[in-house]
Structure 1
Amino acid sequence: MPSLSEPPSAVFQLGHARVNLRERVLLRNGEPVQVGARAYAILEALIEADGGLVTKHELLARAWPGVVVEENNLQVQLSKLRRALGDDRACIVTESGRGYRLLAARANERTRSEIANGPRNVPGNGDHPTPPAARLPNLPPPIGRDHAISSVLGALTCGRALTLIGSGGIGKTTLSMAVAQRFEAERGGHVMVIELAAMATADEVARAVKARLSAHGASGTSGNSGSLLLLDNAEHMIAAVADIVHRVLDDYPALHVLVTSREALAIDRETLMPVEPLAVPEREADEQTVRRQAAVQLFMKRVEATGRPVHGDPEEIGLIGEICRRLDGLPLAIELAAARVPTLGVEGVHRGLADQLTLLSRGFRTAMPRHRTLRATLDWSFALLDSRSRTLLRRLALFTRRFSIESLCAVACDATLPVSTVIDGIGELLAKSLVKVSFDGPIAHYRLSESTRAYALEHLLSAGEVKEVSARHARDLASRFRNQEAAGSGPALVTGEHPEDMLDDTRNAVDWAFSPDGDVRTGVELSSTLVSALLARAKLDECGRRAALALQARQALPEPAMPPAAAIRLKIALAAVLPNLEGPVERACELWREVHEHALRIEDDGLRARSYWGLWNAMLSSGKVSDARRYAEQFEQFARQKHCRWQHIFATTLAATAAHCAGDHHGAAATLEAVVQHVQAYPNDAAEIRQFAVDPLAVCYAGLARIRWLEGDVGEAARLASRSLDLIPAETMEPWFTHVLGVVAAPLALISGDRERARHYLSIMRSQTTLHRLTIWHEFGECLAAILLIHDGDVVRGLSRLERTLDSLLARGFRRLTSPLIVECAQALISVGRTSDALDRLQDAQAFCEINGSFYFMPEILRGRGLCAHAMSRTFDTDRPYDAHALTRAKACFTKAIAMAQSQGARMWELRATLDLIKLPLGDEEANEARNALSALANRFDACSAVPEVREMFALLASTQPSPALS
């Protein structure tokens, strides 16, 4: 096979050392020796001089093309080269003041001859037997590769040389074998498979190729369909394989060549086809969509092969989808993960992904050695890199997602790794499929797979570079954020970068900055931008934790530690999330006051508007309705003075909501309806308001739903509650989804008697609050669930749960809409004979509401006190069954509740108090008056209503004879 030759003088002998210039390999006593790229360039120049003198300037130009460096750098590289040659170091001779020359370099004629003419011995008759022909394994079709197989076969029809490129473990070999099977079955041609992984020299490759072609009788005219030569795993012999394939294509016109490699051959007539990962489900995909993804199907099939059944419940399927997503759809990683399921279970594998390289450490015994563990696969790739590319790869470990060339240089470059080297290095990593690239138009973004990143991070730790590289990473991010803010873009992630990429990188930088080896000042500065981004993405729990940590760390820094704006951003973030997380709510009030004072001091109108909204929300959450109303009115006045229409509409909405909480339902309803009309007419105003993460229509519909229920229009209330839920944006549902469920949808369903709907809402609320760690709203939902339990008849268990969660909620300073919870708790306490405890709770609630102007539920508190007085009036004395003074107090409470409800237009509260009044032992005249009042109320309600009190009213009226006053 004369065409399979290397050019002359490709292989040289230097004493005990052998150099292959084409493959860039140096062997000493038959063992490979690592030589850096610059040292190797010097060796090449000396060999090419064929014993002649090479000047220092020539060597510097060869090793550092286009770069001016000090002469001592040349001395360093020559020292490395001499160490690599060992006992043969004397081959490099120094001629003082002139340069260097290489002695005793001679071409290895035996090697060249064997490459050119094939082995001297036929297989089985010499020292170097040709490996036996590989047979096609009888494998089932690979999962998720049907389209890829067809594409490869089509490409082989159009061209004769195709290289499947991709990272280790991506499934190149599996795909190529499936292609070979189809090629053989459909085209009837010979398939010759050569596994290159175990071959170390071009000599071996050449012999193997010649032997396969000879064994199959391949020739230059071997039929119309031709034969297929499959060269598997060529990356470690890429130059030799490229030369051989080039010559084979010339000598065998009917032969097709399929190569698998982690980098391209870079020859003409080569078609490249990247092997993509298996399809993985999106994060929010439903169960059926998750099941359809190829990566998930592979995982489940491999688990079933272990004998462990896959339960297939939605939770387990969701975890499998997350596992496959975290493993980037990499088939090898997925198979290795599936192999651990019998031991760890699906949940255990999911938890173990934090340490992928350890978890994915047991593969099939039939796999190639480098594919038996994920670490072995990566070791194989890492060994093919030169030292500079290895350094670059490990420094890329700090990028959790995509990164730009600017970020790459800022983090990776230093005195040992200049920009030009980094640019070359990223090209090599791309060529060897260790880094992926994607494009947003002309802009390139790079990314490591999760497993490659974990491997690179291990090497970064081993090299002792974590502190230095992490510091550069953190400083670069901080600088870019500062520059963006100085340019007027505000505290946001860098424009032009993918937000989620920047978010993850900033998280990592902040984590390092607050570590023992970190930089606290940089951590606080980065946190101020990070928490703003987290808040905008409704990641409330993480936002709160990071803001609290940064504010605490800031206290230990000397003043001025950072620009005031950074501290204000941290305060805004923490204040915004505290009323949803664990509180205390009063801390949120304090923080918003500090923000407001700062806004007034620096005359920042945008910050001032934000502080008004924050103060209103914090005050309302703490039950301080009068303060909330005052700040809303100040906001209205401020917006009016600034002629800012959208801010004025927003402030008006807040003022109306506060008025509703103060008991002015009629006025609030009129204002909210006007706001709805305005926002529908001017949708741009609504868009401006949403920058505060609030939809004004959702707020209006929620308030109107409560008011309509109070007025007795239960059907309209339910419709408005649904409309409020419909307006919650899917991309940032929380905390507003839980908020609407908790303050409108679930309570209205519960007090309307629709227990199943209430149960459904509360189930969703429990799930959401647990998932997002919204502790305050979780406890609020648990209070409602406890009330539902009481309504179901399980008073003892429901009351125990209600008292526990209600007390925890109040201890956090959360008093928004807690009065109805207190009234329900009081009623349950009365039913189990704990009337004094009930009265204590009601008296505390009444005092708090009166001090803070919260009169929305005051009629209910008064009714509750009437129930306590009624319970206390019972003497169990047959002669005097009721205590007159207690009865008088009960009547007074019910009467006052009715009067206040009437003044508010709250017919539901009026109905409840009237029904309880009728249950007192009244005189005939008082009883008639109460029934007449009830009859008048009946005209305002639907007789078909499912609300328990409405049904009770109509049943009571139907059971009594008309009084003279009604005739």
Structure 2
Amino acid sequence: MKTIKIGQLEILLDRREVRVDGRKVRAGSRAFDILVLLIAAQGEVVAKDEIIRRVWPTTVVEKNNLEVHICALRRVFGRERDRIRTVPGRGYRLIMDGVLPGLPGPGVSKQGRPKQGASNAAVQRAAVQRPADALQPAHEQHAQPSFPESAQEPTSSDARPRPRQPLPARMPELIGRHEALAGIADALRTRRIVTLVGTGGIGKTRLAVELAHYLQHEFADGAVFVPLSAAHGWRSALDALAVAMGSRLSAGPAALAQLAGEWRNREALVVLDNCEQILDIAAAIAEALVAAGSGVRVLATSREALRVPDETVHHVPPLALPSAAGGTGEVLDTPAVQLFLMRAQADGAHFLLDETVVRLTADVCRRLDGIPLALELAASRAAVLGLGQLAANLDDRFSILTGGRRTALPRHQTLQATLDWSYRLLGRDEQKLLRWLGTLVGSFSFDAARAVGEYAGLTAIATLDALGGLAARSLLATEPEGAGYRYRLLETTRAYAQQQLDDEGERARAADAHASLVVTLLRELQTQWKQQPIEEWLVHFMRELGNVRAALDWTLEGAGDAVVGIELAAITVPWLYELSLVEECCDRARAALRCLARTEGATLPVDTETHIRLVGGLAAAAVYTDGPLEETREAWSRVLDHALKTGDTGHALRARWGVWNWHQYGGRAREALVLARRFGEQARETGEAIHGVLAARVEGIAEHYAGNQPRARTLLEQMIEQYDAPLARWHTTGSRVDHSTAARATLARVRWAQGEQHEACELAARSFHAALRADYEIVTCYVLVEAAVPLALLNADNAAARQGIDVLQRLSTRFGLTIWSTCCACYDAWLATLTQPGPEATARLAVAIAALRATNFLAPLPMLSGQLARALLHEARDGEALAVIGEARRHCERSGARWYDEALGRIDDEILGAPYGGSAARHTFTSMTVDLARDVMAAPEIRAAMGALRLPPGQPTKTARENP
């Protein structure tokens, strides 16, 4: 057994276990893999990219994912967590052997400064007498005096020794900040001033207190904590500094110079906490302290940088959040969730960490942006209200998030007070811009911010200055983009800004301005989309989708300008379809059309083109959400009438496609073939290559369902050969469809019908993987429904069928593709009749077919009915099986759907058996049994599955096998 001992830990490599004192310690699989890499490096640095490449070889992960697992490893090491060292900008290394070395400090020769007599001796004594203190992890170390006993007092002859203010007490375990703790400690060893910058409640003071305790033994004169939150001018700021340093109060103009002079020969870490409201004064204090002597380091906390020489700014981010797709273990390992649960438990909450609780906790943490103060306030509320009530009321976060620690500053006892503090520090223009930026959802560009400022009545220069001020004060997060930035308000800040809009009576004007801005933005995007790859265009559209939705809500459902909303919906609806958001596509189109209907008597400046775009978008999406119902056909007919009157070839062909598709999905193969041929004639008349290629696909599908397989194969193979994706871009709704992938799916069906079962399944599988690569859910579901799943079922390839059904179920449910989720239920029941045959599986299939009939999506009905008949036959329910197969064949005769007719004949023969195998005998027998009464169809789900089956009146007889 390969065992390695590191400090108190025993690592059993072959068993992948970590033990402390013989007790197994939980370490995740990824964390253990990282530990093995660090051990193999034998104390050398392992780069972050190398760890990610080795531990996640087939998965793309973010670096914060790595940091989560490093934190988990440090928890495994417990009080020896500092064995895992962060090397800023490079990676991590593991201290393998011996006692952990002390952290180098300003008094050590490594810093390259002259040593200062007694001060250096004090450092050496501290290192000898208390080596373990400097090594203890932040959350387990006991609070120490804020300065060593040998620290010097001021040397002025008239100064009396005064006690220094002790450091604030440590709070419970510092969560999610260990990487930052190590990095900032390293910065303080080489830089004179480090400023922790971040929004209110982000945890700057908490981190600064931890750093003061963590580093105080590296400085001969310890650490000094100067609270400036109550300071409002020079006098109160210098009083706070003097009290913290144990100096005499002095109100004279030379007070700062005097205080700095007293610390000229000291080696200390001075923490200036909460500098934002006296920024210039705090900057002067920091400069004076570091200029007085080389042994002083300043750590400041502020909502914006001090902007002094030799300053290093560290932005304190929110705590890492769980991803929406993360499992329970991954969620519980996330710092934001850990802080929430720890604080809730401390307040007396007793959560059973089941799937529901973990999901709610993750949702709360994401909605609060990972801001520690907000998480702590929410946790205390959850301990009283429960998670469900907390989550349900979180939109009113400023009322519900109260009740912070009694020892906290008043502004940290409610979220409202925290943001009020920041807001009062802003100038008038900054306050106004912050309020109006609250209308923007997600990230936004500088141009968008400038436009908002213009709507708010600010000049371009005033907007620029205010934007810079908000970013500097950490009220705006910045995200690099090319040579510039995008900006974003945290959700909590955005909610506060909207509250201020209400308080100022500006909400309606700001919302109208926001809607106008979004329409202008989309108009500009609309002019560009034909010149750039559609995927690139969609990236821009998706980035603005939150703003689009907010503007549509305001203009179509709220008190906004309906004309703006109708135009916005007409631009948006086709692109929602391209994103597979078909339910929302229908909802937005219907809302805009309702607005048009309500204002029919008014003279709205809405052109016919806008109306037709809405109707066409609704028709294209509704076939998936509602099925090929009459509303869809009527919508396409209106689009076609308009297109023919205006000579719009693109809309005319799209409408003809829509009407053909309505018949094809509805199982009316004969009508679909007629319309497909008509579409082909008119498409080829345009002379455009894309229209000819699309015509071949439409006709190929129709010929296949009508049973003309040789003709279908010729058309589809020609179409695939001629298809050129960059050129084959149909400039109307549905432009994202890769028609060659969809055509290959139909070609697979054709080859199956021609007896090439193996080749058909291979082609269907290739089409499925091509659709996945294209990442367009409508196409992926089409390929699964059309070919991949049914051919796997027909070939009894249960594993392939199961995989396809699972993907189809997930995608169709997520995107509201109702006809395909209903068809998926049929396929799932079909698979059950193969893997677990019996009455329950048969009933499931019958019920699923009945549900499919309700959507009017009847294209798959013949093969589903055939499998239902086989399942009934397996249970010796011959009469019912024969009735089902008879109705299926009559449906095919009525509709012209002949592609599965031969297979239905074989199933018919199976039911009748060898004695009735001849066609004449079968015809005679069918005539004898057609008058079976409804009692033979004992199960109501079978009757439902067969639809409105009409049987001639008569009395029930025995089943077929009992009455030969």
Global fold match (TM > 0.5): yes
Q: Does 1:543 align with 2:581?
A: no
Match of 1:739 in 2: 782
Picking from 142, 149, 153, the partner of 2:181 is: 149
Match of 1:275 in 2: 316
Farther-moved stretch of structure 1 (518-527 vs 594-603): 594-603
In the aligned structure 2, how far is the partner of 1:362 from the partner of 1:710? 70
Larger Rg: 1
Cα shift readout 1:748-786 (whole Å, capped 9, x = no counterpart): 333333445534443443333332222222222222333
Q: Does 1:263 align with 2:283?
A: no
Indicate conservation of the 8 Å contact 1:180/1:191, yes or no. yes
User: Structure 1 residue 256: deviation in Å?
Assistant: 1.4
Cα shift readout 1:508-549 (whole Å, capped 9, x = no counterpart): 111011235222222111111222222222222211211122
Equivalent AA in structure 1 for residue 445 of structure 2: S
Equivalent AA in structure 1 for residue 430 of structure 2: S
Picking from 595, 618, 621, the partner of 1:553 is: 595
Match of 1:184 in 2: 216
In the aligned structure 2, how far is the partner of 1:852 from the partner of 1:883? 26
Output aligned runs, 1:252-331, within 5 Å. Answer: 252-281=293-322, 283=324, 293-299=334-340, 301-302=342-343, 321-331=362-372
Unmatched 5+ stretches in structure 1: 1-117, 125-129, 874-881, 893-918, 924-967
Q: Does 1:579 align with 2:620?
A: no
Picking from 523, 526, 529, the partner of 2:571 is: 529
Indicate conservation of the 8 Å contact 1:632/1:654, yes or no. yes
In the aligned structure 1, how far is the partner of 2:173 from the partner of 2:751? 63
Q: Does 1:399 align with 2:431?
A: no
Tell me the SS of whatever aligns to 1:692.
Answer: coil
Farther-moved stretch of structure 1 (528-537 vs 804-813): 804-813
Q: Does 1:249 align with 2:290?
A: yes
Picking from 705, 729, 740, the partner of 1:661 is: 705
Farther-moved stretch of structure 1 (447-456 vs 719-728): 719-728
Indicate conservation of the 8 Å contact 1:194/1:209, yes or no. yes
Q: TM-score, normalised by structure 2?
A: 0.70
Output aligned runs, 1:69-88, within 5 Å. Answer: none
Cα shift readout 1:63-106 (whole Å, capped 9, x = no counterpart): xxxxxxxxxxxxxxxxxxxxxxxxxxxxxxxxxxxxxxxxxxxx
User: Structure 1 residue 551: deviation in Å?
Assistant: 1.8
Match of 1:723 in 2: 766
Cα shift readout 1:690-718 (whole Å, capped 9, x = no counterpart): 96332234323322333344444444333
Indicate conservation of the 8 Å contact 1:869/1:889, yes or no. no
Indicate conservation of the 8 Å contact 2:579/2:776, yes or no. no
Cα distance change on mapping 1:601 and 1:846 into 2, 3 Å: farther
Equivalent AA in structure 2 for residue 566 of structure 1: T
Indicate conservation of the 8 Å contact 1:639/1:645, yes or no. no
Farther-moved stretch of structure 1 (858-867 vs 777-786): 858-867
Cα distance change on mapping 1:263 and 1:560 into 2, 3 Å: closer
Q: Does 1:196 align with 2:196?
A: no
Match of 1:857 in 2: 900
Indicate conservation of the 8 Å contact 1:765/1:781, yes or no. yes
Tell me the SS of whatever aligns to 2:199.
Answer: coil
Output aligned runs, 1:845-884, within 5 Å. Answer: 845-846=888-889, 848-860=891-903
Match of 1:909 in 2: none
Tell me the SS of whatever aligns to 2:624.
Answer: coil
In the aligned structure 1, how far is the partner of 2:205 from the partner of 2:622? 54
Equivalent AA in structure 2 for residue 887 of structure 1: F
Match of 1:468 in 2: 509
Indicate conservation of the 8 Å contact 1:869/1:886, yes or no. no
Tell me the SS of whatever aligns to 2:271.
Answer: strand
Indicate conservation of the 8 Å contact 1:534/1:542, yes or no. yes
Tell me the SS of whatever aligns to 1:580.
Answer: helix
Output aligned runs, 1:617-766, within 5 Å. Answer: 617-679=661-723, 682=724, 684-685=726-727, 692-729=735-772, 732-755=775-798, 757-766=800-809
In the aligned structure 2, how far is the partner of 1:883 from the partner of 1:632? 38
Indicate conservation of the 8 Å contact 1:629/1:655, yes or no. yes
Match of 2:198 in 1: 166
**RMSD between superposed Cα atoms in Å:** 4.4
Cα shift readout 1:108-134 (whole Å, capped 9, x = no counterpart): xxxxxxxxxx9x99999xxxxx9x714
Q: Does 1:377 align with 2:409?
A: no
User: Structure 1 residue 626: deviation in Å?
Assistant: 3.5
Indicate conservation of the 8 Å contact 1:537/1:732, yes or no. no
Picking from 344, 357, 361, the partner of 2:398 is: 357
Cα shift readout 1:355-380 (whole Å, capped 9, x = no counterpart): 44345434444544322332232122
Q: TM-score, normalised by structure 1?
A: 0.69
In the aligned structure 1, how far is the partner of 2:882 from the partner of 2:828? 23
In the aligned structure 2, how far is the partner of 1:744 from the partner of 1:352? 46
Cα shift readout 1:784-819 (whole Å, capped 9, x = no counterpart): 333344455665444554444433432332222122
User: Structure 1 residue 450: deviation in Å?
Assistant: 0.6
Indicate conservation of the 8 Å contact 1:585/1:621, yes or no. no
In the aligned structure 1, how far is the partner of 2:896 from the partner of 2:400? 59
Indicate conservation of the 8 Å contact 2:274/2:301, yes or no. yes
Cα distance change on mapping 1:734 and 1:487 into 2, 3 Å: closer
Output aligned runs, 1:597-608, within 5 Å. Answer: 597-608=641-652
Cα shift readout 1:334-363 (whole Å, capped 9, x = no counterpart): 344444555666666555544443454344
Indicate conservation of the 8 Å contact 1:399/1:505, yes or no. yes
Equivalent AA in structure 1 for residue 494 of structure 2: R
Total equivalences in the alignment: 764
Match of 2:855 in 1: 812
Indicate conservation of the 8 Å contact 2:729/2:736, yes or no. no
Indicate conservation of the 8 Å contact 2:165/2:246, yes or no. no
Farther-moved stretch of structure 1 (151-160 vs 220-229): 220-229
Cα distance change on mapping 1:883 and 1:403 into 2, 3 Å: closer
Match of 1:207 in 2: 239
User: Structure 1 residue 397: deviation in Å?
Assistant: 1.6
Tell me the SS of whatever aligns to 1:277.
Answer: coil
Equivalent AA in structure 1 for residue 237 of structure 2: V
Cα shift readout 1:224-278 (whole Å, capped 9, x = no counterpart): 8821110111212223323333333333443211110112223344332222223
Cα shift readout 1:542-595 (whole Å, capped 9, x = no counterpart): 112111221222222346641223222222321222122123533223323333
Indicate conservation of the 8 Å contact 1:234/1:261, yes or no. yes
Cα shift readout 1:708-756 (whole Å, capped 9, x = no counterpart): 4444444433322321221124674422333333333333333333445
Cα distance change on mapping 1:342 and 1:798 into 2, 3 Å: farther
Match of 2:99 in 1: none
In the aligned structure 2, how far is the partner of 1:121 from the partner of 1:497? 67
Match of 1:568 in 2: 612
Cα shift readout 1:408-441 (whole Å, capped 9, x = no counterpart): 3444446865554433332332222112233423
Match of 1:596 in 2: 640
Match of 2:148 in 1: none
Output aligned runs, 1:14-53, within 5 Å. Answer: none
Equivalent AA in structure 1 for residue 278 of structure 2: M
Match of 1:787 in 2: 830
Match of 2:496 in 1: 455
